């Protein structure tokens, strides 16, 4: 195990530092995007008004379209450095598919960083080997990497989708801004309306509800818009001088809504996920701010109750991230101690294989411990990993150099024989008997050509090699012993059939005799292989006797020849003798060509001798040869057709 086995956390996971910066600060009295108190508070002597929180949960900062989407599960952190390039590409595809584009910017950057760190290292290694092989550096061309192609495609998709999201977000903010301006204008028009008081107030509440349901607006317009909105509400209350009964009912509804928010905030103290509780509290503060005034006598108590729950949740949130910081710092200290121990090991001068193996175990133990330790703080995480890896790499590089020079020839011989063992073990269960036997003979010859290995490994490596060889040849012998038994049984059956053929007495019915001879042939073909040394003998003996009976059948020469040939090729087919069938076919084709050529010559000769009256006997001889040749051509074509049918 070498240093590359270590788990290196990525920038976005190294210790949640970035999350600390965005979330671990409790709400201040005047958060950046806090809104002013509703305008009715400025006229509280005249109307029972709401209070504006002086302490609130931190509102979600809108930065470059980054928002939290609680409808999606949180992305489970991984150690990107431990993933292969292919696994990084798969994770990027998974993140793009299953998570909103607005929530994955840091994850995408972490994947990209880890991928190109590995990719660059691979290219540099390939380039180094290229140059070491004697090639010129300017001739080097980096190989095409399909993983990089896929990564770039997914990064392009992310960029396009993020740009589209940001565009939509800006358009939505602009639309929301206009919608809120329209609400303000609607409230202004109520002031000048001629409706009854109840209808006017109902419309006013509808405008307030619309205002609450409108989403985010551009950050630079928040303050001014709230000023305008509250001023318009103040003017509305001043103008219509709402009657006390309706006002009290409205204040009562507002109080019920805020009591409900207090209860919800208090329940958040039981929420086991601290970050989730904190983010939910942000929403409750937004709702609190949107609710109108409450009866004055309950104003302070109600706000104190909500503020108390807020303070407790903020405190839990702060303690949670402080605890994370402490743990990350402890992890850094533990990893620093491991680095120091690894550096001591890497600086040792060792002089024997036994010493190297002992210290290797110590270093591997350090690596095992390293994997059990969590992330260090983000700013230190990569540095401490690089430090540990450098120490490990130095140790193992020194170890390789030592063993390279120490009994290099014997070590090389051991490696060569180990490779032959691996090769023999990979072939020992093969049933391709001929090819594998040849391979075993080759590697056994190579084994003899390789020199000695270190004495302490000599017996073990020989036993390993011998075991693999013996296993194969024992399996082979068992197979062929079983096969020989089967072939011996087949030989007995064929010899018995030959005796049966020899004892056959033809009847007067030629057709019945013909069927009986065909039955002999079919039974012969159904019997399997016989021992190779006996094959030609029994085949020749069978064909000799069967052909003798065919000769005595009342068949013409053509049919006899056809049946004899059928008998011959059926035996080839049974023996799976494809080569012999091919040779027979080529032999027939060559004979056909020869006869056709002879016929052409004979026909020319007839034309030449026909002019002479003294050559009639010679002409008759040529005509007889031509006739015979054509009969032979017919027979050969029939045989060729029979071969083609096979």
60-95 pLDDT, tens digit each? 333 333 444 445 567 788 888 888 989 999 999 998
- Please state the rounded mean pLDDT for residues 122-140: 81
166-221 pLDDT, tens digit each? 999 899 999 999 998 998 888 888 877 666 667 777 888 888 888 988 888 888 88
Is the per-residue pLDDT at 230 higher than 50?
Answer: yes
- Please state the rounded mean pLDDT for residues 147-165: 92
Is the per-residue pLDDT at 223 higher than 80?
Answer: yes
Is the per-residue pLDDT at 150 higher than 60?
Answer: yes
Of the ranges 44-48, 186-190, 385-389, 576-580, which one carries the lowest mean pLDDT score? 44-48
Is the per-residue pLDDT at 444 higher than 70?
Answer: yes
Is the per-residue pLDDT at 438 higher than 80?
Answer: yes
Is the per-residue pLDDT at 226 higher than 80?
Answer: yes
User: Which residues are paired to 297 by β-bridges?
Assistant: none
With vertex at residue 635, the alpha carbon angle to CA 629 and CA 640, rounded to the nearest 5 degrees, is: 120
Show the tokens assigned to 212.
């609450």
CA dist 497 and 71 (Å) reads 84
- Please state the rounded mean pLDDT for residues 284-313: 87
- What's the pLDDT band for 332 if we cut at 50, 70, 90? confident
31-64 pLDDT, tens digit each? 332 222 332 333 333 333 333 333 333 333 333 3
In degrees and rounded to multiples of 5, residue 189 shows phi and psi of -65, -30
- What's the pLDDT band for 26 if we cut at 50, 70, 90? very low
CA dist 362 and 271 (Å) reads 45
Is the per-residue pLDDT at 346 higher than 80?
Answer: yes
- What confidence score (pLDDT) does residue 37 get? 30
- What confidence score (pLDDT) does residue 44 get? 33
Q: Cα 426 from chain centroid?
A: 27
Distance between the two ends of the chain, CA-based, in angstroms? 61
Is residue 89 within 8 Å of 115, Cβ to Cβ?
Answer: yes
Length of the chain: 646
623's CB contacts (< 8 A; 6+ apart) are: 606
Is residue 376 within 8 Å of 338, Cβ to Cβ?
Answer: no
Is the per-residue pLDDT at 636 higher than 80?
Answer: no
- Please state the rounded mean pLDDT for residues 438-467: 87
Is the per-residue pLDDT at 536 higher than 60?
Answer: yes
- What confidence score (pLDDT) does residue 632 get? 77
- What confidence score (pLDDT) does residue 544 get? 81
Show the tokens assigned to 428.
């020992």
Is residue 218 within 8 Å of 178, Cβ to Cβ?
Answer: no
- What confidence score (pLDDT) does residue 237 get? 76
- What confidence score (pLDDT) does residue 109 get? 92
3-state secondary structure 425-451: HHHCCCCCHHHHHHHHHHHHHHHHHCC
- Helical ranges in 268-295 per DSSP H: 274-290
62's CB contacts (< 8 A; 6+ apart) are: 216, 219
DSSP string, 64-105: TTB---TTSPPPPP--GGGS-HHHHHHHHHHHHHHS-GGG-H
Is residue 393 within 8 Å of 3, Cβ to Cβ?
Answer: yes
The residue among 314, 319, 320 whose CA lies nearest residue 55 is 314
- What confidence score (pLDDT) does residue 113 get? 92
- Helical ranges in 133-196 per DSSP H: 146-191
Q: 542 vs 122, which has greater pLDDT?
A: 122
Greatest Cα-to-Cα distance within the chain, rounded to the nearest angstrom:
158
Show the tokens assigned to 607.
């034309």
- What's the pLDDT band for 19 if we cut at 50, 70, 90? very low
- What's the pLDDT band for 604 if we cut at 50, 70, 90? confident
Q: 416 vs 484, which has greater pLDDT?
A: 416
The residue among 501, 402, 414, 509 whose CA lies nearest residue 458 is 414
In degrees and rounded to multiples of 5, residue 196 shows phi and psi of -70, 165
- What confidence score (pLDDT) does residue 509 get? 67
630's CB contacts (< 8 A; 6+ apart) are: 599
Is the per-residue pLDDT at 154 higher than 80?
Answer: yes
Is residue 513 within 8 Å of 507, Cβ to Cβ?
Answer: yes
3-state helix, strand, coil in the chain (%, to 5): 75, 0, 20
Neighbours of 37 (CB within 10 A): 18
476-531 pLDDT, tens digit each? 877 776 666 677 778 888 888 888 878 887 777 666 767 777 777 778 777 777 77
CA dist 233 and 187 (Å) reads 7
- What's the pLDDT band for 2 if we cut at 50, 70, 90? very low
Mean pLDDT of the chain: 76
CA dist 247 and 249 (Å) reads 5
- In the DSSP assignment, the letter for residue 24 is S
């Amino acid at each position: 195990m070498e240093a590359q086995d270590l788990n290196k956390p990525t920038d976005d996971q190294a210790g949640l530092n970035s999350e600390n910066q965005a979330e671990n600060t409790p709400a201040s009295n005047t958060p950046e995007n806090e809104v002013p108190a509703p305008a009715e508070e400025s006229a509280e002597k005249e109307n029972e008004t709401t209070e504006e929180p002086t302490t609130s949960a931190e509102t979600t900062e809108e930065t470059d379209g980054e928002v939290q989407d609680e409808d999606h599960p949180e992305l489970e952190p991984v150690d990107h450095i431990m993933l292969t390039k292919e696994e990084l590409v798969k994770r990027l595809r998974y993140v793009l598919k299953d998570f909103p584009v607005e929530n994955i910017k840091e994850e995408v950057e972490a994947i990209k960083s880890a991928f190109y760190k590995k990719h660059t290292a691979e290219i540099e290694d390939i380039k180094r080997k290229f140059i070491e092989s004697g090639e010129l550096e300017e001739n080097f061309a980096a190989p095409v990497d399909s993983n990089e192609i896929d990564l770039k495609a997914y990064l392009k998709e992310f960029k396009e989708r993020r740009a589209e999201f940001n565009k939509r977000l800006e358009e939505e903010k602009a639309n929301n801004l206009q919608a809120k301006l329209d609400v303000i204008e609607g409230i202004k028009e109520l002031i000048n309306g001629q409706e009854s008081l109840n209808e006017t107030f109902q419309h006013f509440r509808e405008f307030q509800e619309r205002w609450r349901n409108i989403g985010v607006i551009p950050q630079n317009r928040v303050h001014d818009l709230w000023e305008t909105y509250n001023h318009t509400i103040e003017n509305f209350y001043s103008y219509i001088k709402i009657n006390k009964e309706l006002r009290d009912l409205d204040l009562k509804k507002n109080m019920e809504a805020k009591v409900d928010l207090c209860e919800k905030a208090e329940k958040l103290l039981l929420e086991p996920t601290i970050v989730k509780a904190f983010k939910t509290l942000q929403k409750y503060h937004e709702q609190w701010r949107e609710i109108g005034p409450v009866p004055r006598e309950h104003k302070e108590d109600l706000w104190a109750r909500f503020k108390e729950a807020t303070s407790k949740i903020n405190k839990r949130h702060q303690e949670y991230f402080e605890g994370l910081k402490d743990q990350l710092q402890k992890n850094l200290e533990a990893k620093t101690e491991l680095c120091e121990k690894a550096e001591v090991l890497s600086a040792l001068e060792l002089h024997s294989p036994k010493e190297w193996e002992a210290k290797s175990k110590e270093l591997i133990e350090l690596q095992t411990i390293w994997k059990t330790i969590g992330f260090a703080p983000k700013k230190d995480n990569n540095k401490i990993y690089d430090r540990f890896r450098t120490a490990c790499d130095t140790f193992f590089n020194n170890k390789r150099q030592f063993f390279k020079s120490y009994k290099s020839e014997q070590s090389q011989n051991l490696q060569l024989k180990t490779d032959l063992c691996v090769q023999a073990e990979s072939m020992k269960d093969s049933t391709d008997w001929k090819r594998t036997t040849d391979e075993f003979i080759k590697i056994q010859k190579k084994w003899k050509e390789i020199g000695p290995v270190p004495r302490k490994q000599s017996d073990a490596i020989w036993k390993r090699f011998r075991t693999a060889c013996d296993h194969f040849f024992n399996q082979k012998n068992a197979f062929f012993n079983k096969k020989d038994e089967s072939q011996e049984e087949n030989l007995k059956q064929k010899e018995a059939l030959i005796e049966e053929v020899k004892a056959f007495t033809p009847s007067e019915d030629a057709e019945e005799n013909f069927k009986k001879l065909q039955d002999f042939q079919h039974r012969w073909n159904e019997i399997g292989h016989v021992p190779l040394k006996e094959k030609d003998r029994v085949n020749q003996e069978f064909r000799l006797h069967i052909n003798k009976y065919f000769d005595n059948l009342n068949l013409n020469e053509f049919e006899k020849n056809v049946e004899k040939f059928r008998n011959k090729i059926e035996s080839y087919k049974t023996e799976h003798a494809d080569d012999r069938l091919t040779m027979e076919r080529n032999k027939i084709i060559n004979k056909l060509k020869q006869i056709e050529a002879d016929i052409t010559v004979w026909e020319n000769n007839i034309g030449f001798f026909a002019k002479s009256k003294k050559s009639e006997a010679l002409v008759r001889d040529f005509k007889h040869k031509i006739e015979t040749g054509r009969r032979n051509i017919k027979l050969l074509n029939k045989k060729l057709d029979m071969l083609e049918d096979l």
